[in-house]
Structure 1
Amino acid sequence: MQIQPFNQPPPTLGNQFEDDRVLRSYLRRVLPPEVLAEVARPLREMGALAGGELYQMQLADRLNEPVLTQWDPWGNRIDQIEVSPLWQKAEKLAAEFGVVAAAYEGKYGRFDRIYQFALAYLFHPSTDVYTCPLAMTDGAARTLVVSGNQELIDRAVLHLTSRDPVQFWTSGQWMTESTGGSDVGLSETIAKLNEQEEWLLYGRKWFTSAATSQMTLTLARPEGNPPGGKGLALFYLETHNEDGSLRNIEVLRLKDKLGTRKVPTAELMLRGTTAVPVMGLSNGVRNIVPMLHLTRTWNSISAAAFMRRGMALARSYAQKRIAFGAPLAEKPLHLDTLAEMQAETEAAFHLTFFLVELIGKDEAGEISEEEAHLLRLLTSLVKLTTGKQAVAVASEVLESFGGAGYVEDTGLPLLLRDSQVLPIWEGTTNVLSLDALRALGKSGEPLLALSGEIDRCMNSVTDGRLKAAGEVAQTAVAQAMKWLQGKLADDRNALEAGARRFALTLGRSLALAKLIEQAQWSLVVEGDGRPRAAACRFAKTQINQIVVVEPADAVALADDL
């Protein structure tokens, strides 16, 4: 008698728009009905691709990575990079769906950004971080638009925002050098003016993501400029000549990374690359800020999207996996673990899309003064908060699968490896915590605006459990404000040392408030208590991270020799 072995069925995905309760409920709350009716169709189409064809292609494409060919058979240096089949498919779909273009077409006014980032949120998890070049493309388009440089706007923005895959360009963002990532003021790239009055760039860009893009924005120091960030200028350059060859650019190598391995991240040498100043010959760091604000927002969207994908897979598996006589979905401890992960996921979602709302209002000229103060703070705050959440949830997702979560050909380890880039790219948690402190300014108006937004979210709450959860957020922010005042007055070193705990307290408090806002609406309008359950569960996590620490202990622990 032949014994049939037991094989556990793998998790499956359905339409990722139709199956996403959180996204659909949020869109019903914030979008006018006529806008929702129009955008639902493309979102549903994207959801079908994300849970179907693209997801299956992603699994099949698992072992493919970018390939760098530096020399042709006859000894000519060509430095050609070929991306994976999934990335080639993703580029075409991104253009056709308008994953960048939707933000620039002006069809829905301040709601354009919500629609665009809903598309990106669905698109991201099944495309092996093709959102990386899209983020920089969006950032470059916005930076050029606000620069007022009409020549570059006419030259590039139509390509960057095209829905035609043949015309569509992506952009790089070349800032990082071996002298330092976040400390861009140490940049060693030099810009020289030749006899034809063209600017030529010379230097090594140590970490350039999406090196296959048709153009890039980059920083360089015009000869004779002073050191530091103010002496840098923001330049526009196109990467290829008309014959397809690189424009005095050498690809030294592709980076061998922990995750985001489909992203062709390269180390480049600029050897007299033609470039055009975007906004004068100084203050390059300040001039590239519009790009950073958007790329950090894409980072936050990617975090929320990864968390949602992990939860979709974990719930599917829990319904199928039989252990000790019953599905995991019926085991109280497993349910409790999933609940904690879902609460973090919903909080990250609502925090991120609140930032998206503010960006949409700002670009449409409908933002209030208080909201503008808050927006200056949130691009750093939301990115650092969601980045940490994404890694923690991804780790729990893998653990929820047991050994299968550790096996590469399930596709699950990819979630954790790719999530790990989120607290690093576009500024680590520590760097962004210091950015958040600087964003507060001397007046502290952004902090007052954040506290006011939390109070506004609570003003309409009538449910008793949600009121109690809201008090957690209000109390945490009040303590954070008190801590800040004390440190500003007496100890700048302690202020810097506590910046991460301060920033995470603000971020998680606001996330809780936005989740409560959605939960109250869902109770009244939809009769759905699940967002309330998420809010109450999230309120029991470590929202308030302000603690009293002894600085001498940190010094002692750092010196362990």
Structure 2
Amino acid sequence: MASALFRFGQSTTSVCTWLQLGRLLSTRTRRPNSFSRSRMGSFTQPMPQLHNPFRGDIFLRAILTRLMPREVSQEVFIDLDRFGGRLVDEVDALGKQAELEPPYLRPFNAWGDRVDELVTSPAWKSLHCVSAEEGLIALAYERQHGQWSRLHQVAKLYLFSPSSGLYSCPLAMTDGAARLIEESNNVFLKKRAFCHLTARDPESFWTSGQWMTEKRGGSDVAGGTDTVAYGPDSEGNYSLHGYKWFTSATDANMAFTLARIVTDQGDVTAGSQGLSLFYVETKTEDGQFNDLEIQRLKDKLGTRQLPTAELLLDGTKARLVGEEGRGVSGISPMLTITRQHNSISAAGAMRRIVQLSRDYATRRRAFGKLLVDQHLHMQTLARMEVETRACTVLMLEVARLQGLIETSSVSEQDRTIHRILTPILKLYTAKQAVAVCSEGLESFGGQGYMEDTGLPTYLRDAQVLPIWEGTTNILSLDVLRVMQKYGQEALSSLFEATKSRLSDDSRLAARGLGPTAKTLREHMNSIVVFGQEAMVGDSEQLQNASRDLSFSLAHVFIGGLLIEHACSVESSSADINAAKRWAKRPLSLRLYQQYSKEEQSIDSALVMNGYVPSTSL
């Protein structure tokens, strides 16, 4: 630069003057320091905070207060409040760590030996300890609170599930296994496994799997189970050979599975009559796998914290449970419990996303106002809240009935209601969890789509809930089977229980719920008329209506539960408004003619319109 200036006849002094002038001009044209942050922006989005989820759930507390005797609810509340603090301080972080450190399989060691080592996160192991210490299974079987023990356990699992890093899944199967054993007459299992499944000591606590699904299977276990069993040997053990397509919680200590016993002539019985139930321990006393191999871990949309594998059973030692050929009925107690757990996860996820959305609304400012002051946003959250309350109250009612059954305190009518409500509970809450979690993510805007916020986990994990333990259509057909088995008693029991909740006209009037109860009665009458027409119609038409019928039954029964709570002394104006809004929703059922064979043809034509099948070679 200096040489260029000298060519214009300037001296060294003028060069210095020139540089000073440059600095002066630069200073005058530079923006003030107060704007220097504009390159990154001074605004940061607020992060939603998780507070004690029990203290923040006024609806749960009110329902438990109403359902439980005072001395029981006081003890239960102390436990749930303490546990809510532990969730915030410890457990929620473990669940997030388990999501970030998913399990992986190390099939061979460095020397070529097959080891099938399943490596899980330290957080996953810590969640095992928390589950044992908190008695998340033991609570239901110790029965410290008698018939209310199951309700205590369910409420605690409901708080735990959205923070559990999916450890709620092995707990569901563990609870189902414990209930199966408790109902059985199998002395061996009661001595060998039950004490471990219900232990509070982390070192003694076992989890269980259930290996029902095979490659051809899914929910069709009767037509899709190819696993065979040879035996028994002199010690009463059978040898299992087969391929299990989905085995969630592969790190479990034990499992129940189905197989077909091979006769001396080498034959097996097809269909459900040929299926027998077996108890398997995954490892032998020396810590080696029980003649089974982990073929691979599943690559899933969600539930990434949970090890789900394909297993090859190659001579796996097992014990027959119950009578030969009675395997499908043998797993019934287990499915009843795991379907209830499915609803606990659904309602828990809905409540958590609503709690986080509510907290965020008090922090996030847009268009000059906090979200909590923007009515359209709050209207959306209110709809989520009503749906969450609906699923929660139905879940807790089924838990109450389960407690009565387990303590032999149940009437035959309540037993019938419990049987028809269990599949309804599972199918309804699962579908609504996906919808509410999706809406919840939207309430955070773009941040709801960012994986590092942890929010998308709620939606990804919720999506499995309509699939686990039977899809929505499979559960709808189960509802239909209950109705066909019990006849008119099934619907009449359900409706009588609903009507009893609408019988106090003076209290309904005092709460302004008279018109709401009238609407609900009209909905019931519509279902009765539909049912009378359907029962004399084509059975295939009734199957086609089963899904809408199941959702309509859920709608009516939930309405009765919400009105009952709104009429109680524990209720608030929010409870009254939730019941009113719920009853205004239309039934899912349509005119019976819309399930006819003609409509079937229209459905198929709509779906297959334009489809060109590939040419078979």
TM norm. shorter chain > 0.5:
yes
> Which of 268-277 and 525-534 deviates more?
525-534
Q: Measure how far apart 1:80 and its partner are.
A: 1.5
Aligned to 1:56: 93
Aligned to 1:534: 578
Shift, 1:542, TM fit: 3.5
Decide whether the 8 Å contact of 1:50 with 1:125 is kept in 2.
Answer: no
**Separation (CA, whole Å) in 2 of partners of 1:481 and 1:129:** 40
Indicate whether 1:324 and 2:362 are aligned.
no
CA contact (8 A) 1:162 1:168 kept: yes
- Structure-1 residue corresponding to 2:455: 412
Q: Which residue of 2 aligns with 1:378?
A: 421
Matched, 1:189 2:190: no
Deviation of 1:60 (Å): 4.5
Match of 1:473 among 520, 524, 527: 520
Q: How does 1:76-225 map to 2 (within 5 A)?
A: 76-186=113-223, 187-193=225-231, 195-196=233-234, 197-224=236-263, 225=268
Distance change in 2, residues 1:177/1:473 (3 Å): farther
The 8 Å contact of residues 233 and 281 in structure 1, kept in 2 or not, is answered as yes
1:16 aligns with 2:53: yes
Tell me the residue number matched to 1:496.
Answer: 543
> Structure 2: which amino acid aligns with 1:501?
D
Letter in 2 for 1:81: L
Residues 385, 508 of structure 1: 8 Å contact kept: no
Q: CA deviation at 1:478?
A: 2.4
Quickly say closer, same or farther: Cα 1:453–1:416, change in 2 above 3 A.
Answer: same
| Cα offset, 1:442, TM superposition | 4.9
1:218-265 CA-partner distances (Å, limit 9, x unpaired): 111101342111210010010001121110010001111111111111
The match for 1:558 is 607
Amino acid at match of 1:348: C
Greater CA drift, 393-402 or 441-450: 441-450
One-letter code aligned to 1:534: A
For residue 463 of structure 1, what is the aligned residue in structure 2? 508
User: Closer, same or farther in 2 for the Cα pair 1:310/1:547, shift >3 Å?
Assistant: farther
3-state DSSP of counterpart to 1:303: helix
* 1:6 aligned partner: 43
Change (3 A) 1:527 1:61: closer
Q: TM-score, length-normalised on structure 2?
A: 0.88
- Give the paired residue count: 558
Corresponding residue of 2:496: 452
* 1:41 Cα offset (Å): 2.0
Q: Distance in 2 between matches of 1:544 and 1:501?
A: 5
**1:517 paired to 2:573:** no
Give the partner amino acid of 1:496.
Answer: Q
**Equivalent of 1:423 in 458, 466, 487:** 466
- Cα distance in 2 for partners of 1:331, 1:207 equals 46
Confirm whether residue 28 of structure 1 aligns to residue 88 of structure 2.
no
Report the more deviating stretch, 378-387 or 479-488. 479-488
Quote how far apart the aligned CAs of 1:394 are. Answer: 0.5
Cα deviation, residue 527, structure 1 = 5.8
- The Cα shift of 1:547 comes to 4.0
Q: Which runs of 5+ in 2 are unaligned?
A: 1-32, 612-617
| Structure 2 residue identity aligned to 1:7 | T
Helix, strand or coil: the match of 1:233? strand
Q: Distance in 2 between matches of 1:195 and 1:490?
A: 52
Which TM-score applies when normalising by structure 1? 0.97
Alpha-carbon distance in 2 for matches of 1:62, 1:201:
33
* CA drift at 1:488: 2.2
Separation (CA, whole Å) in 2 of partners of 1:438 and 1:471: 30
Query: In 1, distance between residues paired with 2:576 and 2:93?
Result: 34
- Please say if 1:545 is aligned against 2:589: yes
Q: How does 1:233-252 map to 2 (within 5 A)?
A: 233-252=276-295
User: Which amino acid is 1:433 matched to?
Assistant: S
Shift, 1:376, TM fit: 1.1
Find the counterpart in structure 1 of residue 320 from structure 2: 277
The answer to whether 1:358 aligns with 2:401 is yes
Kindly provide the CA deviation profile for residues 162-216 of structure 1, in whole angstroms up to 9, marking residues without a partner as x: 0000000000011001111111012000000165352110000000110100000
Q: Secondary structure at the match of 1:244?
A: coil
1:37 CA drift (Å)? 1.7
Shift of 1:129: 1.6
Q: How many angstroms apart in 2 are the aligned matches of 1:155 and 1:317?
A: 49
Cα deviation, residue 125, structure 1: 0.4
Provide, for residues 478-536 of structure 1, a one-character-per-residue CA deviation record: whole Å limited to 9, x for no partner. 22232222122122221111110000000121112111111111xxx246211111111
1:61 Cα deviation after fit: 4.4
Taking the aligned partners of 2:330 and 2:563, their CA distance within structure 1 comes to 37
- Tell which structure's C-alpha radius of gyration is larger: 2
8 Å CA contact 1:42, 1:97 repeated in 2: no
Alignment partners' CA distance in 2, 1:398 and 1:559:
33
Q: Counterparts of 2:136 and 2:195 in 1: how far apart (Å)?
A: 14
Residue aligning to 1:348: 391
One-letter amino acid of the counterpart of residue 308, structure 1: R
Q: Is the 8 A contact 1:143 1:290 kept in 2?
A: yes
- Bigger mean CA deviation after superposition, 238-247 or 530-539: 530-539
Distance 1:203 1:470 in 2: 54
CA contact (8 A) 2:565 2:571 kept: no
Q: Which moved more, 1:155-164 or 1:444-453?
A: 444-453
Which residue matches 2:7? none
Paired-residue identity, %: 43
Q: Distance in 1 between matches of 2:232 and 2:69?
A: 54
Contact preservation (8 Å) 1:340, 1:538? no
Contact preservation (8 Å) 1:451, 1:474: no
User: 2: distance between equivalents of 1:454 and 1:322?
Assistant: 43
SS in 2 for 1:458: coil
Question: What corresponds to 2:15 in structure 1?
Answer: none
Deviation at 1:472, TM superposition (A): 3.1
Any idea what SS the aligned residue of 2:501 has?
A: helix
CA deviation profile, 1:280-300 (whole Å, cap 9, x unmatched) = 211100111000000000001
8 Å contact from structure 2 (residues 94, 165) kept in 1: no
Query: 8 Å contact 1:434–1:496 — kept in the other structure?
Result: yes
Structure 1 gaps of 5+ residues are none
AA of the residue aligned to 1:404: Q
Q: Which moved more, 1:280-289 or 1:47-56?
A: 47-56
Residue range with higher mean Cα deviation, 535-544 or 340-349: 535-544
